[in-house]
Chain A
Amino acid sequence: MVNPMDKFTEKLPQYLEDGLTEAETIELEAHLADCAVCQAEFDALTRFDRLLASAPMAAPAPNFVAVFETKLERRLNRRRTLLGVLVIGSLLTAFSAVLVWGVFVSGAELWQWLSAGSLWQVGFDIFNGLVVVGVTIGKIAAITFDALAKLMRHPALWGYVSVGVGLVWLWVQLFRWTNFARQPVAVRSQPSA
């Protein structure tokens, strides 16, 4: 740390990649012989090469090919399944569209009730009820009961809800399958020096 880096220090990487002229090489080598800073830098720059020389090609586990075959088989099956899910998913979507269309007539009646402002009334009631907790609980119970009683008279809504839930679930599954290429990657702590 006594000497600062000199103009030769910066040339060392080029020297290592045979990027210097012959004259420059001779000059640098002469300097390198008695400059501690450049020697330290040279050591650092070639540390990798020295480690590499002692690192042979690493071999995989003996069952590598067998494990590969199992994984490939599983992947191919999954691709087939994915195709199946896509076909069934499309069929189900089409089917539920027909179903929704079928209940649309009673659905229209339901929509009338919803848009007649009843919901606003319910919200307003709940807001009022918040002032006194006891009253609120009672009102919520009463309103919920009332709403449920009303909804019971409109089976179409249950159709909508269950078809909706089913479709969401189905497409979530689909996404899951299409994500098949992603594998969880374990994060390991790096070896500390």
Chain B
Amino acid sequence: MSDTVAADAPNLKLESQWIARARQGDQTAFSQLVTVYQKPVFNVCYRMLGNRADAEDAAQEAFIRAYLKLDTYNTDRKFSSWLFSIASHHCIDRLRKQRMKLVSWDDLPPWNWIPAKKSEQPEAVMVENENTRELHALLNTLPPDYRAAVVLKYWHEMSYDEIAASLDTTVSAIKSKLFRARKMMAQAAKKKEAPSAAVGITAPLTVL
């Protein structure tokens, strides 16, 4: 067990060895895969969820799920695409649950009689630059599945085929999602610019 590897250069032969060993239950082999793919998987989650603490949690959960269902991984497929698929599905679920937070099962007895795990310690406030914040604000205007398509397309430069396979949909559906996502984000960008311009126009009207 003296595999040394450059973290940013996944070697395909080594990778398939790790996968084979992880399938036998070798957790250290799987940790090697996590080391290699932590950055891209984290990035998908970060762009999807918009903050680091949730993104780390989601990325780790994605790796856990990958480990638990490793025997369903089809080796003809790129391992990274398979991981992205798990991560984006998980993030889509999370976003949908956030949306339905008001009617969460967690708030109903008897589940909350048993003390639940406290959520993570107060996260270190990360100073994000203005661009990142605006970028996430734009992504935030998109429905979860649109967001996933945009993230996979633009950050990970996946092909339409790969994105469609990762999100269990068709190429034409992905294309139309990307197309509409661009329009939605343009709308949001305009709305953000609008206030300064709009005040001048609407103010006199409201006086009347």
Interface residues of A (CB under 8 A from B): 1, 13, 16-17, 40-41, 43-45, 47-48, 51-52, 54-55, 57-61, 64-65, 67-69, 71-73, 75, 172-173, 175-176, 179, 183-188, 190-191, 193
Q: Judging by beta carbons under 8 Å apart, are B179 and A13 in contact? A: yes
> Which B residues are closer than 8 A to A by beta carbons?
27, 30-31, 34-35, 38-40, 42-43, 46-47, 50-57, 59-61, 63-64, 67-68, 94, 97-98, 101, 106, 110-111, 113-114, 116-117, 119-120, 128, 131-138, 140, 154-155, 178-179, 182-183, 185-187, 189-190, 192-193, 197, 201
Residues B117 and A184 in contact, CB atoms below 8 Å apart: yes
Chain B minimum-CB-distance residue to A186 = B119
Known: A55-B131, A184-B116. A16 touches B60 (CB 8 A): no
Q: Is the CB of A45 within 8 A of B119?
A: no
| Structural contact, A47 and B186, CB atoms closer than 8 A | yes
With contact pairs A58-B43, A59-B42, A64-B42 given, residues A190 and B50 touching in the complex (Cβ less than 8 Å): yes
Contact of A191 among B63, B64, B98, B136 (CB under 8 A): B136
A176 nearest CB across to chain B (Å): 6
Q: Is the interface of B mostly helix, strand, loop or mixed?
A: helix
Contacts of A54 in B (CB 8 A): 131
Partner of A184, one of B39, B51, B119, B192: B119
Contact assessment for A176 and B119 in the assembled complex, using a CB-CB cutoff below 8 Å: no
Cβ–Cβ contact A16 & B131, under 8 A: no
Most-contacted residue by chain B among A60, A184, A187 (CB, 10 A):
A60
Q: Is B133 a contact partner of A187 (Cβ separation < 8 A)?
A: no
Task: Tell whether, in the assembled complex, residue B135 and residue A48 are in contact, meaning their CB atoms are under 8 Å apart.
Answer: yes
Residues of A within 8 A of B42 (CB): 58-60, 64
Q: Which residues of A contact B201 (CB under 8 A)?
A: 1
Contact of A57 among B52, B155, B197 (CB under 8 A): B155
Q: Can you list 25 A-B contacts with CB-CB less than 8 angstroms, sorted by A residue number?
A: A1-B197, A13-B179, A17-B182, A44-B186, A44-B193, A45-B183, A47-B186, A47-B189, A48-B185, A48-B186, A51-B138, A54-B131, A58-B42, A60-B59, A64-B38, A64-B59, A64-B60, A65-B35, A71-B61, A172-B114, A173-B114, A176-B111, A185-B101, A190-B50, A190-B137
Are the CB atoms of A48 and B189 closer together than 8 Å?
yes
Question: Which residue of chain B has its CB nearest to the CB of A52?
Answer: B154
Residues on B with C-beta less than 8 A from A17 are 178-179, 182
Q: How far is the CB of A17 from chain B (nearest CB, A)?
A: 7
How far apart are A119's CB and chain B's nearest CB, in angstroms? Answer: 28
Cβ-defined contact, B138 with A68, below 8 A: no
With A1-B201, A64-B56, A68-B63 as known contacts, state yes or no: A58 contacts B119, CB within 8 Å: no
Closest Cβ neighbor of B32 among chain A residues: A65
